[in-house]
Amino acid sequence: MSTFGKVFRVTTYGESHCKSVGCIIDGVPPGLSLTEEDIQVQLTRRRPGQSNLTTPRNEKDRVAIESGCEFGYTLGTPICLTVQNQDQRPHDYSETDFYPRPSHADWTYLKKYGVKASSGGGRSSARETIGRVAGGAVAEKYLTEVYGVEIVAFVSSVGEIDMPTSSEGMSGEAFQKLLATITREQVDQNTVRCPDQETADRMQEEILACSSEKNSTGGIVTCVIRNAPVGLGEPCFDKLEAMLAHAMLSIPATKGFEVGSGFSGTRLKGSEHNDAFEADASGSLRTKTNHSGGIQGGISNGESIYFRVAFKPPATISQDQQTATYAGQDGILAARGRHDPCVVPRAVPIVETMAALTIMDAVMQQNARSATSAKLKPVPAELKGIKPV
């Protein structure tokens, strides 16, 4: 469906070439200071036409708060956020009346609904993510103010080009140091959004080469969530990593997700992979290492949460492609339109805001449980299952 979240709920609307796109957010706490500029920052990072590495579609993506706020504060009622589509060119897609684009959603949407959007990708278009980014920016505002949560994503690979620290896996020492200190300002110092400038230069060359060849390439976005509260997530079906995977794999063009040590962790022995505990300065516990990626038993443990999201090469390319018409006749599709040769530079704020939506929803669920439990008498010590050594 088009709604994400259980308590903090975001419903997105709109297609690639309709009049507007946006979202309705339900569950925003009342009293949060919120302006359009708070939301605009992430939308501007996501918008097309930022550089020669992205689609030339020229959209300003200016957001308007239509409801749910007065005098700069949220009312606790549904917030409607809209962004006008201004640079539509639906005539660029007339060939898709005859051909389903290879690896795009044209064919599957038609089989599912019996109709499809006549221009662009309809709901499968990346324009749909505007509503996600807008809603996630609101969630992040609350998380930052109340908990000091920091969410930073960056491009760690394009095609076969990887950051040097990626070679030893996400739980490697060098990569962990990067995750502990990386900032959005560092990420945005180049248009690729890779914090290693030498690697970013090589990535840019690869993307530009694909563009000149009317081709595309994929990549990986890495994300870290710092200062997330302890206790987020559920033990079984709604484990925090499962909800993050749900969020990330709902983003267009995603094909893979790994959290913590991920797939490289399968090469370790248990004695190497286990995160031993130690006392912190406050007398509580923390882990000496973080192969778990900040989540154990499906529940956040207070350490940094980190994960990677794989994006495929964009399906729409301008090369002639031997394929078949809807009628099954062999033919050549010469796709037009304006498309990214690589989506990962613009996917960075989408990953960040989907992470914010996931954490915000988990926070509100946990706070509801904690507030309800606090009304009861204290649990006897023997029921907590803790005994002194």
Q: Which residues are catalytic?
A: 17, 104, 340
- pLDDT at 386 (0 to 100): 73
Tokens 């949560």 correspond to 149
Of 134, 107, 127, nearest to 11 by C-alpha is 134
Alpha-carbon separation of residue 2 from 22, 86, 197, 248, 359 (angstroms): 11, 23, 38, 15, 19
- pLDDT at 93 (0 to 100): 60
What is the CA 211 to chain-centroid distance, rounded?
24
Q: What is the mean pLDDT of residues 32-41?
A: 97
Q: What is the mean pLDDT of residues 199-213?
A: 95
- pLDDT tens string 337-359: 667 899 999 999 999 999 999 99
Q: pLDDT-based confidence at 51, cuts 50/70/90?
A: low
Look at 121 and 276; give whichever has higher pLDDT.
276
Task: Judge residue 202's burial from the number of C-beta atoms within 10 Å of its C-beta, 0-12 exposed, 13-18 middle, 19 or more buried.
Answer: middle
The CA distance from 117 to 17, in Å, is 9
- Coil, helix or strand at residue 245: helix
- pLDDT at 122 (0 to 100): 80
Phi, psi for 146 (deg, rounded to 5): -90, -40
- pLDDT tens string 304-319: 999 999 999 999 888 8
Tokens 């990953």 correspond to 351
Report H helices in the chain: 36-46, 106-113, 129-147, 173-181, 184-187, 197-212, 240-249, 270-273, 344-373
Q: 61 and 130 in contact (C-beta within 8 Å)?
A: yes
320 Cβ contact list (under 8 Å, min separation 6): 332, 333, 334
> What would the two tokens of residue 24 be?
């309705």
Beta pairing class for 150-158 and 3-4:
unpaired
Q: What is the mean pLDDT of residues 1-27?
A: 94
Helix, strand, coil: what percent of the chain each, to 5? 35, 20, 45
* Per-residue DSSP letter, 208: H
Q: pLDDT-based confidence at 95, cuts 50/70/90?
A: confident
Q: What is the mean pLDDT of residues 174-178?
A: 91
The CA distance from 287 to 85, in Å, is 48
Record the pTM: 0.94
Look at 242 and 90; give whichever has higher pLDDT.
242
